[in-house]
């Protein structure tokens, strides 16, 4: 990769050219690494996991590579294993108190589904949630608990 001087970077088209040189944006790559370290490496092989908003499936792929046997993904768009709205979990074939871990990365700023998450978690289960934008990350506020919580 070549370096760009300030005159070149001042042009928006040049900025896009620089960003296209990366397969995955730098910050996304760093963000995934931090999520792996802070959240995903705490998931055990025996945990039954639900990922809400599974998108391209990177979380499920990472967990399966680590030996986690039971990983289910849900998203409102295909190609998710379960396509639908988490707020309609009963009609999607999910059972109450059936997951040891629920992962909701960059979901809570889009859909209010905390009640649904806690209904699906087993007693003692863990909700691993993170909001993509700080202004929407109410879980990080001291009055609203922690991003890594137990039922």
pLDDT given at position 29 = 73
Positive or negative CA dihedral for 133, 135, 137, 142?
Answer: positive
Asked if residue 103 has pLDDT above 90, the reply is: yes
Give the pLDDT mean for 61-90. 95
Q: What are the pLDDT digits (tens) for 9-65?
A: 455 555 555 555 545 566 677 777 788 888 899 999 999 999 999 988 999 999 999
In the chain, what are the domains? Answer: 1-38 (no CATH), 44-150 (3.40.50.150)
Is the pLDDT score of 3 beyond 70?
no
pLDDT at 11: 54
C-alpha distances in angstroms, 49 versus 8, 31, 142? Answer: 46, 20, 27
Q: Give this prediction's pTM.
A: 0.72
Q: What is the spatial distance between Cα 139 and Cα 145, in angstroms, rounded to a whole number?
A: 6
Q: Is the pLDDT of residue 73 over 60?
A: yes
Torsion of the alpha carbons at 19, 20, 23 and 27, rounded to the nearest 10: 20
């Amino acid at each position: 990769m070549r370096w760009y001087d300030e005159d070149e970077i001042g042009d928006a088209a040049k900025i896009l050219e620089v960003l296209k040189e990366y397969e995955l944006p730098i910050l996304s790559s760093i963000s995934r690494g931090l999520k792996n370290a802070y959240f995903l490496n705490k998931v055990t092989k025996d945990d039954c996991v639900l990922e809400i908003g599974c998108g391209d499936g990177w979380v499920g792929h990472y967990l399966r590579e680590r030996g986690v046997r039971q990983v289910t993904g849900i998203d409102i768009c295909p190609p998710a294993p379960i396509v639908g709205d988490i707020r309609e979990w009963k009609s999607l074939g999910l059972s109450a108190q059936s997951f040891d871990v629920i992962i909701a990365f960059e979901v809570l700023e889009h859909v209010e589904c905390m009640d649904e998450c806690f209904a699906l978690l087993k007693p003692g289960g863990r909700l691993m949630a993170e909001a993509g934008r700080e202004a929407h990350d109410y879980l990080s506020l001291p009055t609203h608990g922690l991003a890594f919580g137990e039922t």
